[in-house]
Structure 1
Amino acid sequence: MTELAATFKQQAVAQAYRHRPPYPDEVFERLLDLITDAPRRVLDIGAGEGALARPLAPRVEHVDAIDFSQPMVDAGKQRPGGDHPNLSWQVNPIETADLNGPYALVTAGASIHWMPWEQTFARIVPQLTPNAQLVVIEHGAVDEPWLGELIPIIERHSRKKNYDPKFDVVDAIVERGLLDLTGRVRTTPVSYPQTVAGYIERLHSTSSLARDLMPADEAASFDASVAEALRPYAKDGVLQLQIQAELSWGRPKLPG
């Protein structure tokens, strides 16, 4: 896991992140509804290039976006909203980051499974307002008709060989005694067009399929195989995706 996490420090992975679909607008509506305390400050852990932090910044008092990857933060600063005055970036792992609470909301978008949970929760809990919630957000395409052709290709090339599709990171954190789960909801799917080329680059933005993990001939073979699998489903080179997010939230607790 540590070796795979390090791929997010690769420049190519940070650049490929722009091909990931944005979070549906409903995600931000629900996040804002969960803020009940003042000041309306948000801590975004494992912020990456700021897919959550950048849209949130204009809607709250301040967002602290924390990520351990300099290339990710550099990419985020160049993306729309990356220079908003309500947004502060910091390159640090969350367990040693310089935090400036109290925070009325903590967000983690597809990132908390990379973190040492006990150290992370010991760091953030003292920085929370009385009713602050931690929200874990996963999102992506659903009901993809081409998965039957695509999954074997991914399995052949993925550097993560112990993937367990039944693993649920929120359930694992709850079982560890670090979160009192309050709610869970899926957003309404929204349409998102993406070119086949963009879809392939999105796959390369993941830790297990990063281009720098593959020899050049393997990367070329992967790209060609994925393109062939997707082509029958694309119209003029464009796929029509359905994007959905799942939000899970609760009150984080100190370890022990």
Structure 2
Amino acid sequence: MAALTDRVLRALERFNAAHPWDHNAHYHRWILRRLPRRLDRALDVGCGSGDLARLLATRATAVRAVDADPAIVARARELTAPAAPVVFAVEDALADTGHDGAYTAVTCLATLHHLPPNEALTRFRERLAPGGTLVVLGLSRPDTPADHLLGLLSVPLNAATGWLKNRGRPAPRPVAMTAATRDAEESLAEIALLARRILPGARIRRRLFWRYTLVWRKPHTA
């Protein structure tokens, strides 16, 4: 049985490598629906090659997109029209940049598990203007039966989605450049516990494709 399971997993890995797709981009439209139709200033933390930042720029007066990887920030600049209201910066997500209280939206995709979560959530809260919205798409360590069940369900759906997005054909070229990845250390329960203390009222949900979402709106009054 173990040998059969290993063969199945290897076959799925080969299929997924031939039909790749971006799990984070899958949630971009969902993220936009959590935000107002018009924004003042937006901050995208861990921007990667800038796909979400460019979408935010269709709604925001100005977007600041930051990533710690100089190569991927350079790629984001190459892919962005000069007239787009986006500034890409090589920056530590936790750095004190003097922008506290400046943003009506802060987004963070597949980056929180690379950071000290307590410090990161606190920094995101500080950078939001009153009434602003934080949206996190994150990865957590599978810990409960529900986590493992949703992960198993995601395996065939992942393959089917890759096949559909590639129209049944192997991808002709590698997917867009992405930053280095690492496994999440915190479980969803641990993230939720932190959020209840730092971001009272935050809405956290498990999602397909090994992701969770966190949405929080900063009160207008302290």
TM interval, short-chain normalised: 0.5 to 0.7
Alignment of 1:39-118 (within 5 A): 40-79=40-79, 81=80, 83-96=82-95, 98=97, 100=99, 102-118=102-118
CA contact (8 A) 1:136 1:248 kept: yes
* Structure 1 residue matching 2:194: 3-state secondary structure: helix
Q: Does 1:249 align with 2:215?
A: yes
Deviations 1:38-94 (A, max 9, x none): 862111111121231121112211111011110111121223x46453101110102
Aligned length: 164
CA contact (8 A) 2:118 2:194 kept: no
Question: What residue ranges of structure 1 are gaps of 5+ in the alignment?
Answer: 1-17, 148-158, 190-242
When normalised by structure 2's length, the TM-score is 0.57
In the alignment, which of 145, 156, 172 is matched to residue 145 of structure 1? Answer: 156
Cα 1:31/1:53, change in 2 over 3 Å:
farther
Cα 1:173/1:84, change in 2 over 3 Å:
farther
Cα 1:31/1:63, change in 2 over 3 Å:
farther
CA contact (8 A) 2:121 2:195 kept: no
The higher relative CO (CA closer than 8 Å, separation ≥ 6) is in 1
CA contact (8 A) 1:121 1:252 kept: no
The percent of aligned pairs where both chains have the same amino acid is: 22
Q: Distance in 2 between matches of 1:83 and 1:172?
A: 42
Task: Read off the aligned partner of 1:92 and give its amino acid letter.
Answer: E
Deviations 1:201-246 (A, max 9, x none): xxxxxxxxxxxxxxxxxxxxxxxxxxxxxxxxxxxxxxxxxx7975
Query: In the TM superposition, what is the alpha-carbon distance from 1:110 to its structure 2 partner?
Result: 0.8
The corresponding residue for 1:173 is 194
Name segments (4+ residues, structure 1) moved above 4 Å.
Answer: 184-187, 243-246
Q: Distance in 1 between matches of 2:121 and 2:184?
A: 25
Deviations 1:163-209 (A, max 9, x none): 66x8227425325x22224334688x9xxxxxxxxxxxxxxxxxxxx
Question: What residue ranges of structure 2 are gaps of 5+ in the alignment?
Answer: 1-19, 140-152, 159-180
Task: Read off the aligned partner of 1:70 and give its amino acid letter.
Answer: P
When normalised by structure 1's length, the TM-score is 0.50
Task: Read off the aligned partner of 1:55 and give its amino acid letter.
Answer: L
Query: In the TM superposition, what is the alpha-carbon distance from 1:27 to its structure 2 partner?
Result: 1.9
Aligned-residue Cα RMSD (Å) equals: 3.9
Query: In the TM superposition, what is the alpha-carbon distance from 1:99 to its structure 2 partner?
Result: 5.0
